[in-house]
Structure 1
């Protein structure tokens, strides 16, 4: 069933609605809540959750006789609906970041009311998943991000079967995010990072779609899932494992290295060229041996910009 999570009026146009999907048996609270599109340029997550809603709707319609949706699932594919339509990261009207407005308020600014409605709909779920991408300049390997997790969250993070689980410190700038607001409620919360903003990267999206189906199977929400027997390694990296490489000079960065590959310390990862005369001004190498989990994709850069991230095994 599709319903509107929130309906808002607008000054000189028709109202703005934020739709969501409620699937599975009726219940007081969803077993799993999935959210994407808090930022309007994070198209991968929106595409993944819209496809997941279609798939679970087909399961309910008995298009897959071996599958049964045993528990309720709530899916909000796109929170920042105006940002998506106008291809902007923030809420277009006042340029605020919805993911810096939590826990929100019923009497605050528009984005605070949106944040409040999203939190109220999702906070009591047993499992909560927030999907993001990197910015438009950077590509992240599909990964699970944990911030000061419980042991139960560390264990359940492996249910996705994604190649990397990254545990990170909780920065003060994250205290007004949806993920942080979930922490005070019982249950397990996860943040998935998928690819690059502003585009749909089909291979990444297909991988995460399969990961979500696998997760729903292992959580007992979707019965009949044939769980993967593939031997792809899931690596757990704590905050000491991440090594970033930053540009020491401005210029044009060029690299053909795909994320998700294991690299050796000192391995060539790309070059920074002088943007006008074409000379190589810096050779970029891997700082340690490990998994390449992120890579800059926009070629133009300033000194100090992040070029790549490598996570070494613990």
Structure 2
């Protein structure tokens, strides 16, 4: 079933709606709530959840006889609907970040009302998943992020089968995020970070789509999922495991490396060229042996810009 999570008027002509999918047996609250598009340029998440909704609706329609959806799933493919339409990361009218408006309010400004509606719809779910990307300049390996996790969340995070689990403390900086508001409620909460903003990266999207199906099967939400006995190498990283490389000089950064590969200490990962003369002015190498979890994709950079991140095994 498709329903409107929120309907609001606009200054001129038609108003706007935030639609969501409610799929599976009716219940007092969803077993799983999935949210994407809090930022309007995070298209990977919007695409993944729209495809997942289509798949689960097909399961409900009987198109996959071996599968049965036995628990309720709520999917909100895009929260910042106007931002998606206008290719804007923030809310287009006042440039505010919806993910800094939680827990929201029924009588606040527009983005606060949106945050309130999303939180009310998702907070009682047994499992809650927020899908994000990195910025338009940077690419992240598909990963699970845990913020101030419980032991149960650490165990459950492995059910996605993604190569990296990143653990962070729940800093006061994140007090007004959806994740922080979720943590005040019973249940388990996860962030998935997928690739780069502003585009659909099909390989990443397919990988996370499969990860979500694996999660649905392992948590008992979707019955009949064939789950691989052998997981790929899943590594758990804390904040201290991350090593970052910053540009020593401005220029044009070029790399043919892919995130998600294991690299050696000192391995060549790219070059910075002088943007006028074309000379190589810096060779960029890995600071340690580890997993290449993030890499700059916008070629032009200033001195001090982040180029890459490598996470060492704990």
- TM-score bracket, normalised by the shorter chain, equals over 0.9
Question: How far apart are the structure 2 equivalents of 1:227 and 1:42?
Answer: 28
2:32 matched residue in structure 1: 32
1:115 matched residue in structure 2: 115
Question: How far apart are the structure 2 equivalents of 1:231 and 1:115?
Answer: 36
Question: How far apart are the structure 2 equivalents of 1:201 and 1:37?
Answer: 15
1:245 matched residue in structure 2: 245
1:193 matched residue in structure 2: 193
2:63 matched residue in structure 1: 63
Superposed CA RMSD in Å reads 0.7
Alignment of 1:131-150 (within 5 A): 131-150=131-150
Q: Provide the TM-score with structure 2 as the length reference.
A: 0.99
Matched position secondary structure for 1:283: strand
Q: How far off is 1:231 after superposition?
A: 4.0
Q: Provide the TM-score with structure 1 as the length reference.
A: 0.99
Question: How far apart are the structure 2 equivalents of 1:192 and 1:78?
Answer: 15
Question: How far apart are the structure 1 equivalents of 2:18 and 2:97?
Answer: 16
Decide which moves more: 221-230 or 158-167.
221-230
Matched position secondary structure for 1:78: coil
- What do residues 168-191 of structure 1 show as CA deviations (whole Å, max 9, x unaligned)? 133332111101110010000000
Alignment of 1:1-314 (within 5 A): 1-314=1-314
8 Å contact kept, 2:36–2:76 = yes
Question: How far apart are the structure 2 equivalents of 1:300 and 1:13?
Answer: 41
Question: How far apart are the structure 2 equivalents of 1:3 and 1:212?
Answer: 22
Decide which moves more: 278-287 or 27-36.
278-287
After TM superposition, what 4+ stretches of structure 1 lie above 4 angstroms from structure 2? none
Count of residues paired in the alignment: 314
8 Å contact kept, 2:161–2:231 = no
Gaps of 5+ in 2: none
Question: How far apart are the structure 2 equivalents of 1:292 and 1:73?
Answer: 33
Q: How far off is 1:237 after superposition?
A: 0.7
Q: How far off is 1:123 after superposition?
A: 0.3
- What do residues 17-67 of structure 1 show as CA deviations (whole Å, max 9, x unaligned)? 000000000011000000000000000000000000000000000100110
Matched position secondary structure for 1:203: helix
